[in-house]
Structure 1
Amino acid sequence: MNRVLIVGGSGFLGGHLIERLYLLEDRPEIHVLDIRPPPAPSSKFYSYTLEDVTFHQGDLTSPESIKAVLETVRPEVVIHCASPVHGMGKEIYFKVNVDGTKNVVDCVAESGFVKALVYTSTASVIYDGSDLRNADETFPIPEVAMDAYNETKVLGEKYVLESNGKNGVVTCAIRPSGLFGPGDRQLVPGMLAVLKTNGTIFQLGDNLNLFDFTYIGNVAHAHVLAAQCLLDEKKVESVAGEPFFITNDTPVYFFTMPRTIWAHKGYVPRFTIKMSRPVGMTLAYLSEWYSWLMGREALFTRFRVAFTCANRYFNISKAKNCLDYKPIVGLEEGVLKTLEWIDDEDAKAAAALVDEKEKKDQ
């Protein structure tokens, strides 16, 4: 790989993709296409600096914008990891995850110089609310998705994989589960937020359900392995046109994760109030109904209840065999890295407030 373009490279996964590419012995030129520049990486958690990355402002919902960046960079590999976060409206998901992905795929196929495209999908593409035990890539995609996010990721992945081989461009999809790590603004911060609301005493379900949480650096590692395999004449046949589940290969009981995080923060709940799945689903239905009446996106949803209470762990043998993938950061090490990053961010925010107050006082 001489040049790699990361579409959505300024986001959570993007920073870790840059890091994995930067650490390669044969380091490629690293380019980022996004609507905003990548944030400055902390030397505590990343080896690269912004000087090691070339940023190109662009919009994946505009084919002209994508084509202009492609012509400027002329990459061999494109990694498409752009996606809105959970909790946004259906319209934005379709605009980015479906229309935007089609634009990326079509522009890459028309370029004449891009050889491979790696797409960031999600393990939830096969999730319908029921248990997934040791699920692998042979499991079917449900006819009806649980929510707009998953519906659009299914459509995006389908278009990417069906476009494999178009004008000589080989493609594959990475399906990660339960992402967390430095840069995480959702999963671990959400679990920490529960400390502030005294919500640690509540438990949805019986906590006998196993769940796959995945450190973000491992997911970035899998993307780079996939790109390398797509360019390898000996490996491309087993990877092109294929999806791959990626996890830490260490499923845990769901509430083990937040309780581990709380324990590292010095907090252990004295007692637990258990709420059954049916009760949770009823309350979530009422939440969705109320949010619909108010014209806003529901935060407590039936999908989230099902997600929390279901067994949801995956067999990653295919990634091990085809990509030579194995996790490079363990689960607890990943938790410690994430908490250290959050503490570092909190310290920076506190220092910024002090500076602002001092300036006002002057």
Structure 2
Amino acid sequence: MALNGDMCVVTGACGFLGRRLIRLLLEEESLSEIRLVDKQIKLEDVQSFKDCRGDTRVRAYEGDIRDSAFLRRACRGASTVFHVASIIDVDGSVEFSELHGVNVKGTQLLLEACIEENVSSFIYTSTIEVLGPNPSGEPIYNGTEETQYKCSLKFPYSKTKKEAEERSLKANGELLPDGTRLATCALRPMYIYGEGCRFLLGHMADGVRNRNVLYRMSLKEAKVNPVYVGNAAMAHLQAARALKDPNKRNVVGGRFYFISDNTPPVSYSDFNHVMMSPLGFSIQDKLPMPLGLLYVLCFLLEVVCTILRPFVRLVPPLNRHLLTMLNTPFTFSYKRAQAELGYAPQYSWQEARKSTIEWLAGQLPAVREKLET
């Protein structure tokens, strides 16, 4: 069911996924208005959508997601909210209070604003990390939403995203002032790649520093299935359409969905090589040291950083959680999203790879120049 005539809100609008989702909404739907919500919005961020906006009004709402009054203004009159904004922290460099404030408190305040302002649909952008991998590195192959997996999340980012997801799903069915009810769902994308991915840029910069040799931090057999940003955006649109459809709303509401596509399963390190080998990069054959020794080294670094915490905040370049994530086979199916949301990858693997490589090729000269100065 189309969203034609609706007013939509996208938080994290200036981020990697947020920008792609907004462009997709403008290209695929005839909305009355899209509201760009972010902590900082530049004029060029709004103008960048000029070529595809049509008659849709694009308005910027710059503010803090922890500000309830700001969120109420942003949600007033909207029918659908896409909550994409969060702090992504893979190395433990962000204080827990900041992570919890944005990822959990911000989500709760946004849900409250949606309820107060009669927003009918709420789509939460979660992450595969709310499931794991667990500290033991137990693998999952082609998992589904019914897969049973024991995991006590210890890493701050994973914990806050899990709590925010739970609050989002719990809000499903909340009674609104106008007598209708809020419908919510959560999407759990795999590692998202594509044009604008800062993690790919970071790995490319590391490779340039290492004389065009990419670092290997993943075992070859630790396969995951990344998802292209264009397909992740399409999953959000399909979720919104499903929540608007009276025949699907009660099925989708309150549920989470894994979002992947047809990107071939591969380890994180080898995925970097797949994307950058056409640009002249090779990759190390083996890990810098046996995996067990790397875990010990990470543990020692974490102990040192903890001891020094009262005096100086140091962040180790690698931690045990990240090392486990990089070396655990963890793949998932998108079949339930396909069956219930109507999701299907919009871009083939060949198209996604080509677009990403072309974007990286365009960024490479600037990366080299920056590192040389």
Q: One fold, TM greater than 0.5?
A: yes
Q: Which residue of 1 aligns with 2:303?
A: 289
Distance 2:34 2:41 in 1: 13
Secondary structure of 1:280's match?
Answer: helix
1:65 and 1:44 map into 2 onto residues whose CA distance is: 24
Taking a change above 3 Å as real, the CA distance of residues 116 and 131 of structure 1, as seen in their structure-2 partners, is: same
- Specify every segment of 5 or more residues in structure 1 that has no aligned partner in the other structure, as ranges: 353-362
Shift of 1:49: 6.6
- Check conservation: 1:201, 1:272, Cα contact below 8 A: no
CA distance in 1 between partners of 2:86 and 2:72 (Å): 19
Shift of 1:342: 3.8
Q: Which residue is 1:248 aligned to?
A: 261
| Equivalences for residues 179-198 of structure 1 within 5 A | 179-186=192-199, 188-198=200-210
How is 1:68-107 mapped onto 2 (pairs within 5 angstroms)?
68-71=73-76, 74-86=77-89, 87=91, 88-107=94-113
- Secondary structure at 1:245's aligned position in 2? strand
Which of 250-259 and 95-104 deviates more?
Answer: 250-259
1:159 aligns with 2:167: yes
Cα deviation, 1:302-332, whole Å, max 9, x if unaligned, reads 1111111100100211101001112112334
Q: Is residue 135 from structure 1 mapped to residue 143 from structure 2 by the alignment? A: yes
- 1:216 equivalent in alignment to 2:264: no
Residue 66 of structure 1, CA deviation? 0.6
Q: Whole-Å Cα distance in 1 between the matches of residues 48 and 60 of structure 2?
A: 22
Alignment of 1:1-362 (within 5 A): 1=3, 2-37=6-41, 40=44, 48=52, 53-71=58-76, 74-86=77-89, 87=91, 88-112=94-118, 114-127=119-132, 128=134, 129-140=137-148, 142=150, 144-167=152-175, 168-186=181-199, 188-198=200-210, 200=213, 202-204=215-217, 206-254=219-267, 255-269=269-283, 271-272=285-286, 275-292=289-306, 293=308, 294-345=312-363
Decide whether the 8 Å contact of 2:207 with 2:215 is kept in 1: no
Number of aligned residue pairs: 349
Q: 1:29 to 1:345 in 2, by over 3 A?
A: farther
Asked whether the equivalents of residues 214 and 282 of structure 2 are also in contact (C-alpha less than 8 Å), the reply is no
Distance 2:39 2:131 in 1: 30
Tell me by how many angstroms 1:155 deviates.
0.1
Cα distance, 1:170–1:99 mapped onto 2, change above 3 Å: same
| More displaced stretch, 53-62 vs 137-146 | 137-146
Change (3 A) 1:117 1:162: same
Cα separation, partners in 2 of 1:144 and 1:44, compared to 1, 3 Å: same
Unaligned runs of 5+ in 2: 176-180
Shift of 1:270: 7.4
Percent same amino acid among aligned pairs?
25
Amino acid at match of 1:239: V
Q: TM-score, normalised by structure 1?
A: 0.87
Q: 1:96 to 1:271 in 2, by over 3 A?
A: closer
| Matched-pair contact (CA < 8 Å) for 1:201–1:273 | no
What's the CA shift for 1:99?
0.4
CA gap of 1:240–1:278, structure 2 versus 1, over 3 A, is: same
| Deviation at residue 147 of structure 1 after TM alignment | 0.8
Q: Does the Cα contact within 8 Å between 1:205 and 1:277 map onto a contact in 2?
A: no
Structure 2 distance, partners of 1:280, 1:351, is 32
Once the two structures are overlaid, the 10-residue window that deviates more, 138-147 or 77-86, is 138-147
Taking the aligned partners of 1:20 and 1:215, their CA distance within structure 2 comes to 14
Partners in 2 of 1:305 and 1:349 — Cα distance?
26
**Contact 2:13 2:38 survives alignment (8 Å):** yes
In 2, distance between residues paired with 1:201 and 1:273?
A: 11
Q: Contact 2:261–2:334 at 8 Å: present in 1 too?
A: no
Give the 3 Å change call, closer, same or farther, for CA 156–263 of structure 1 in structure 2. same
Letter in 2 for 1:92: E
Identify the residue that residue 357 of structure 1 maps to in structure 2: none
The CA distance in 1 between the partners of 2:49 and 2:61, in whole Å, is 24
Q: Is the 8 A contact 1:195 1:262 kept in 2?
A: no
Q: TM-score, normalised by structure 2?
A: 0.84
Offset, 1:44 = 11
Q: 1 CA distance for matches of 2:7 and 2:46?
A: 24
Q: Flag the 1:351–1:266 CA change in 2: closer, same or farther, 3 A.
A: closer
Which AA in structure 1 matches 2:277?
Answer: A
- CA-based RMSD of the aligned residues comes to 3.0
Q: CA deviation at 1:140?
A: 4.9
- Cα distance in 2 for residues equivalent to 1:19 and 1:69: 19
